Amino acid sequence: MRRRTVIKASALLTLGALSATGLNSCGNATQTAAPKDGSQLPAGPLRVALVPWLGWGQAHIAEVKDFFKAEGIEVEQTIFQTVSEANTALLSNKVDLLWAVAADLVVLSQTSPDLKFILVSDYSGDVDGILGTPIKSAEEAKGKTFAREDVPYEIVFMGKYLETLGLTEKDVNIVPLTVPDGAAALVAGKVDAVTLYEPFVSTVFKERSDVEVLFSPAGTNIIINGLIAQGAAIANRRADILAYMRALNQAVDFAKTNLAEAHELIGKWVGLKGEEVTALMTKVDLLDLAENKQVAFNPQNKLNVANSIDSAVPILVGAGKVTKSAPGASFVDASFVEAL
């Protein structure tokens, strides 16, 4: 993710020929009036890092439709080619906000303890999946080769699947591969299972009819995508962040009433056709502001962000990615969602 650099999948290409779409930095840098709540903005734009992902399309729509300008804020959204680059920008204080996965926050917080998760864009549905040849039991899984990218959310995702079999990564052979390489390896029969996301899930099924979805996060809170804020930004740029979030909500509302145009805009951003975006969006559980309040940041809802992080921490500790654990609630700041 980060989480994800979306790869354009062509039905005319084999997996071995797929390559990442080239991306450049872009931004919205129009300074206008003060925020609607009357407070003054600090000098300089609100800096945001992200990689193109369908669920974060609201950020792109808000930019191109001038919703930031309408909210009276200056925003600089920088597009990174990899999740690692985006994460590094946050940790080096080059940006104020980062679009990322909740599980990644646990690892990032080892370096910057004041980071907080403040908004959910989407819960992964069938857009993510662990695909492989049929595995019916723990005995069948032991000794098999599983591929995943060496990033926190995929470690957690694979760990959750293995938990259903009563296993851990120590019981199988783990091969660290990027998603494109992992998909190609599964098609070639070099691995038994792999963690994938769309469009690679669909492309693998076109290449091999004998594989199946072994595990899906649909209906769970295993993979939650959203917005992470720097502690300094939370303390000093609250008005900016709230204005940014209002603009995002405008983008969400726009997409609801202008679906075709919204999907065309997102498609150009991620390197897909509008109709491809429409098809993939059926596999993503997008959340609006009301659902953020009712689900993601509601301590009474079992699918909330804090619970997701609580379940991720032990897996990340076991994988050596985290040296100390903390309650999931300590990674979350619900005050921004509650203020809107």
pLDDT score at 22: 32
Worst-scoring range by mean pLDDT, 55-64, 93-102, 115-124, 274-283?
Answer: 274-283
Determine the average pLDDT of the residues in 7-32.
34
β partners of residue 124: 284
Lowest mean pLDDT among 20-24, 92-96, 128-132, 178-182: 20-24
pLDDT at 42: 53
193: closest CA among 147, 244, 161, 230?
147
Domains of the chain, start order = 15-125+222-339 (3.40.190.10), 128-215 (3.40.190.10)
Cα 226 to Cα 121: distance, rounded to the nearest angstrom: 5
**Pairing, β 97-101 against β 224-229:** antiparallel
User: What is the torsional sign of CA 79, 124, 246, 263?
Assistant: positive
Share of the chain above pLDDT 70, in %: 87
Buried b (16+ CB within 10 A) or exposed e, 39-68: eebeeebbbbbbbbbbbbbbbbbbbebebb
- Where is pLDDT greater, at 15 or 282? 282
Confidence check: pLDDT of 27 > 90: no
Neighbouring residues of 272: CB distance < 8 A, sequence distance ≥ 6? 6, 8, 199, 266, 280
Q: What is the pLDDT of residue 17?
A: 33
Among 227, 221, 178, which Cα is nearest to 53's?
A: 227
Instruction: Look up the pTM and report it.
Output: 0.83
Q: Name the packing angle between helices 238-257 and 57-64 (round to 10°).
A: 90
Alpha-carbon distances of 63 from 25, 55, 126, 272, 325, rounded to whole Å: 13, 15, 28, 19, 37
Please, which pLDDT band fits residue 303 given cuts at 50, 70 and 90? Answer: very high
Please state, in angstroms and rounded to a whole number, the distance separating the CA atoms of residues 130 and 180.
14
User: What's residue 331's pLDDT?
Assistant: 97
Residue 141 near residue 164, CB atoms below 8 Å: no
Confidence of residue 130 (pLDDT cuts 50, 70, 90): very high
Q: Where would I find the beta strands (DSSP E) of the chain?
A: 46-50, 75-79, 97-101, 116-124, 128-132, 145-148, 173-176, 193-197, 212-215, 224-229, 284-286
For the chain, the average pLDDT equals 88
